[in-house]
Structure 1
Amino acid sequence: MKRWILFSCPLIVIFILSSYGFSLYKVEVPKALKVKESSPFLFPQDEAFFDKLNAQPPFLGTRYVGFKEALAFKESQGKYSAVNSFGYMGKYQFGINTLALVGVYDGQHFLDNPELQEKVFEVNIARNKWILRKDIKRFVGKYIKGTEITESGILAAAHLAGPGNVKQYLRTYGKIDVMDGYGTTIATYIKDFSGYDIEMIKPVRNPRI
């Protein structure tokens, strides 16, 4: 009788466990559900989505590195492979026309080359700094709609909307403002990216890669 009990108990336990849906075998994830590689994503389809996540960019100080990484986080969450629904590409979301201005004509090569993306960003900042040099000298330290104007705010806004639109905004004291396809305005970028020290980037006329 004791031998029968010792033999039957494990079988009973296995039967009970299996009746509750437990498996004694390793479960394999179907191949169709496995992630094989990363893919570009569209950003931002809905900026409110990231607000709900309460995501914040990494704080890297108030020098140039902090400026560019904060701007990259706003543009694409810092993803080199990002392509938004308007076709803007990379970590800093450049359009093909802006790339051509600095000597880059192959969009796919640009997307596949993080080093090139960083170089294009720096060259474009230098270009915008040259175009806006007189406005930077004239308006830095002044207030428009309650926001202090800083060099970094001006250059961030130029990245968003182009230096020509930023000139209009400054020279009309905020009466002429523009927004991108997702509703972000020049005034927003001037405020959000104020106070960074980007003196290390010198203005350059028509810089090329």
Structure 2
Amino acid sequence: MRKKVAKFSILPILAGSVFFSFSTKDAANLEVYATHPNETFEYTAQTMENTPVDVVKTPKALPKLGKSYIGFKEAVAFKESGGDYQSINEYGYMGKYQFGKGTLKLIGIYNSENFLDSPELQEAAFYANASRNKWILIRDIKRFEGKKINGVVITESGILAAAHLAGPGSVKKYLRSWGATAFSDAFGTSIAHYMKRFGGYDTSFVQPNRRAKAIVANA
């Protein structure tokens, strides 16, 4: 989706990139675990409230996150909202990853105001949604990964990014029609564009779960 990139301060940048980015269960003091393989994912994170102000400095450059899961989700976030947790576009899509209310309900989030005010919940939502989409599309990932459709090499990360944009059902139709059944969002962004832009990331960290829900521990 094409969004206006909002200006944001140093603290949200550090909070987003340091405290809510993870590629393993222990990265950045953020834990991800399932209470049951088919139940919910819980997240815990440290806060910055006790960090001295003079310790927080502007980085010379944002770190290169490469093709890791962290790199994947931050790349999607930058495309969606410029990484702004408070972003709401003209169509009502919300937060850093621009979720619609319908998708949020599928992963157990019913209070939009609480969602916007909680970076932890937004990060949990991105993972839960990717986990659910991966479960829905797991056969298509196995069938089409490495093949080329409309000139784009199909990868798991490209499929998951496209599902974030268009929903897993639209991605299934696109893949199974070999690109004949196309989809573009309200901004004209296509599945093929997301497949290409976000292809080649390592998203093996995302575990498929049909019942994945976004829950922040102790919330």
**Please, what TM-score do these two structures have when normalized by structure 1?**
0.73
Aligned to 2:136: 131
Aligned to 1:93: 98
Q: Which amino acid aligns with 1:80?
A: Y
| Equivalent residue pairs, number | 157
Q: Which amino acid aligns with 2:190?
A: T
Aligned to 2:196: 191
Aligned to 2:45: none
**8 A Cα contact 1:153 1:192, kept in partner:** yes
Answer with 1 or 2: which has the greater Rg. Answer: 1
Aligned to 2:16: none
Confirm or deny that 1:44 pairs with 2:3. Answer: yes
Instruction: Give the deviation of 1:58 after TM superposition.
Output: 6.3
Identity among equivalent pairs (%): 58
Uncovered stretches (5+) of structure 1, i.e. residues with no partner: 1-42, 47-56
Instruction: Give the deviation of 1:130 after TM superposition.
Output: 0.1
**Counterparts of 2:144 and 2:171, CA distance in 1:** 11
Partner residue of 1:120 out of 122, 125, 133: 125
User: Counterpart of 2:128 in 1: which secondary structure?
Assistant: helix
Q: Which amino acid aligns with 2:95?
A: G
**Please, what TM-score do these two structures have when normalized by structure 2?**
0.69
**Counterparts of 1:120 and 1:45, CA distance in 2:** 22
Partner residue of 1:168 out of 170, 173, 187: 173
Partner residue of 1:80 out of 76, 85, 103: 85
Kindly indicate which of the two structures has a greater share of residues assigned to strand: 2
**8 A Cα contact 1:58 1:69, kept in partner:** no
Q: Which amino acid aligns with 2:124?
A: K
Partner residue of 2:207 out of 186, 197, 202: 202
Aligned to 2:32: none
Instruction: Give the deviation of 1:45 after TM superposition.
Output: 5.6
> C-alpha deviations, 1:89-117, integer Å up to 9, x for none?
00000000100001100001000000000
Change in Cα spacing, 1:58 to 1:83, as seen in structure 2 (3 Å) is farther
Kindly indicate which of the two structures has a greater share of residues assigned to helix: 1
**Counterparts of 1:182 and 1:118, CA distance in 2:** 24
Q: Which amino acid aligns with 1:71?
A: V
**Counterparts of 1:97 and 1:63, CA distance in 2:** 28
User: Counterpart of 1:116 in 2: which secondary structure?
Assistant: helix
Structure 1 consecutive aligned stretches of length 4 or more whose deviation exceeds 6 Å? none
Partner residue of 1:111 out of 113, 116, 122: 116
Uncovered stretches (5+) of structure 2, i.e. residues with no partner: 6-61, 215-219
Question: What value does the CA root-mean-square deviation take over the aligned residues?
Answer: 1.5
Instruction: Give the deviation of 1:205 after TM superposition.
Output: 1.3
Aligned to 1:68: 73
